[in-house]
Structure 1
């Protein structure tokens, strides 16, 4: 097996490999040959590794990467079943490929899977790819949230314009101009002004006339 230093020296992305050395890893796996091999290779890479079994109900602080053995008779912890967007990368370790195990892996939405018997070859690539998938997922979630916020703001601006048009008997253009002027005076966004108008209108409707 090529030594980690040799791999890092010949890699086109040494920064990524350097980051691997600083990874804080939690391994939730029974004590057997698979766990021994996994821990050995992770330490050879340079990761800071902690081993546990059975899976604890809470994660250790500041964990970047988790290897989680998925067994049919072992309940998965809540942190794995109800994953937070900012949580660690999870790689499932499976011994069987039956429908129950596959369903559990799909439910967890893990970033990658390794199978028993655990082998040194491919482990580094699996970690790198899993981290990249997690990174892409995080970016997509942020972009999706940004789009949702933008759409929500647009809906509130439209609703605020309708409220002003009805209350002040003005055109849509005039209503938007009024909101924009108020936003400039208060040094806030038009969306914030619109949100205020909508919220106030819910409490005290602005009647026309």
Structure 2
């Protein structure tokens, strides 16, 4: 997947951390990138989801973010000064696509943002593909039923019945599951094949 380097101008970011020297450096660097920044050490509100979240993974707790299970609603960057496995696990569990180590170095901010945005886009696309495939999988019994009906009506084997469905679907540029449903519903006779 080729990803363009994002332009962050006009983005909104929330830093979930207590204000300190690290947040000062982050705010300065994010501002240079055109990102409007707010700092809070209270749970993120669902009504006001930013474009980007940076979270202090050293001190964060589960309720600080509205999402978990590595399926964040927006790109997440973890701020991490500890090598503790539990803190790294916390960052991963909350969908961090990148880590900025503390103390924050200005040169680490932009690459981490680009990486987090890219990882988030890949996760969203993967979830979309999985959802699509799961939906098609749910419809497989309809395709099977259409194959059984074609076999009975035309006295052909499984392979030939499937080939008829597939070829008709390809000719009409529609998913085979949709064509099978039309065929079973009686609105499609598949006359042009066989």
User: How far apart are residue 142 of structure 1 and its match?
Assistant: 3.0
2:143 is aligned with 1:123? no
Q: How do residues 1-209 of structure 1 correspond to structure 2 at under 5 angstroms?
A: 16=5, 19-58=7-46, 60-61=48-49, 63-72=50-59, 74-77=61-64, 79-82=66-69, 84=71, 87-154=73-140, 156-166=142-152, 168=153, 170-172=155-157, 173=160, 177=164, 190-195=176-181
Asked if the contact 2:43–2:66 (Cα under 8 Å) also holds between the matched residues in 1, the reply is: no
* TM-score, length-scaled by structure 2: 0.71
**Which 5+ residue runs of structure 1 have no aligned equivalent?**
1-12, 201-209
Between the two proteins, the alignment pairs up a number of residues equal to 182
1:22·1:47 contact (CA, 8 Å) conserved in 2? yes
Q: 1:205 aligns to what?
A: none
Following superposition, the deviation at residue 125 of structure 1 comes to: 1.3
Structure 1 pair 42–78 and aligned structure 2 pair: CA distance change class (3 A)? closer
Deviation at 1:66, TM superposition (A): 0.7
Find the residue that maps to 1:112 and give its secondary structure.
Answer: strand
Q: In 1, Cα distance between the equivalents of 2:108 and 2:129?
A: 31
Q: Distance in 1 between matches of 2:106 and 2:165?
A: 66
Q: CA deviation at 1:175?
A: 8.2
- In the TM superposition, residue 189 of structure 1 has moved relative to its aligned partner by 5.0
1:81 alignment partner, SS class: coil
Task: Could you tell me which runs of 5 or more consecutive residues in structure 2 were left unpaired when the two chains were aligned.
Answer: 187-194
1:38 Cα offset (Å): 1.0
* TM-score under structure 1 length normalisation: 0.67
Deviations 1:150-206 (A, max 9, x none): 45555531232124545x47434468758988xx99x97542243467799xxxxxx
Distance 1:36 1:179, change over 3 A: closer
DSSP 3-state at the match of 2:66: helix
